[in-house]
C-alpha cells in the first residue's frame, strides 16, 4: 500500500530532527529551497543534486494538435518541459527496497 509524503510532512520531519531551529524557519527554508529550484529551471538552468538526481529542460518541437471538442487542427508551439533523471543512489535504493 503506497502512501504519499507531502511538503508539509517533510517540513514536520525536518523540524523534529532539528529541534533547535524554529518551526517557522524550517518551513520557510523548505519553501525557499523549492522556490530556488523552480526559479533555476524557469531560467533554463539545470539542477544537479549528487545522489538524488538532476533536473533539466527537454525541448519539444512544435506539432499539430487537435481541439478535442471541435476536432479542429491547431498548431502547438515548441516548448520546454521539465525533466528529472534520478541519480544512481536514488535508483539503487528505490530498486533494492522493491519487494
Partner 1 sequence: MALTKADMVERLFENHGINKRDAKELVDQFFEEIKAALAQGNSVKLSGFGNFDLRDKNQRPGRNPKTGEEIPITARRVVTFKPGQKLKVSVEAYSRQNAENVRLESEAPSAKKSRGS
Name the site residues for partner 1 (rule: CB under 8 A).
2-7, 10, 13-14, 17-18, 21, 25-26, 28-30, 32-34, 36-62, 77-84, 86, 89-91, 93-98
- Residue with smaller CB distance to partner 1, 28 or 74: 28
With contact defined as beta carbons under 8 Å apart, do 49 and 87 qualify? yes
Least CB distance from residue 70 to partner 1, whole Å? 23
Residue 73 main-chain phi, psi, to 5 deg:
-75, 140
Of 70 and 96, nearer to partner 1 (C-beta) is: 96
The span from the CA of 85 to the CA of 37, in Å, is: 15
Amino acid at each position: 500500500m503506497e502512501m504519499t509524503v507531502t511538503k508539509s510532512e517533510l517540513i514536520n520531519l525536518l523540524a523534529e530532527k532539528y529541534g533547535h531551529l524554529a518551526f517557522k524557519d524550517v518551513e520557510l527554508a523548505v519553501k525557499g529551497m523549492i522556490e530556488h529550484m523552480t526559479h533555476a529551471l524557469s531560467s533554463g538552468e539545470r539542477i544537479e543534486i549528487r545522489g538524488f538526481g538532476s533536473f533539466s529542460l527537454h525541448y519539444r518541437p512544435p506539432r499539430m494538435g487537435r481541439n478535442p471538442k471541435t476536432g479542429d487542427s491547431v498548431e502547438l508551439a515548441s516548448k520546454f518541459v521539465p525533466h528529472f533523471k534520478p541519480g544512481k543512489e536514488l535508483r539503487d535504493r528505490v530498486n533494492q527496497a522493491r519487494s
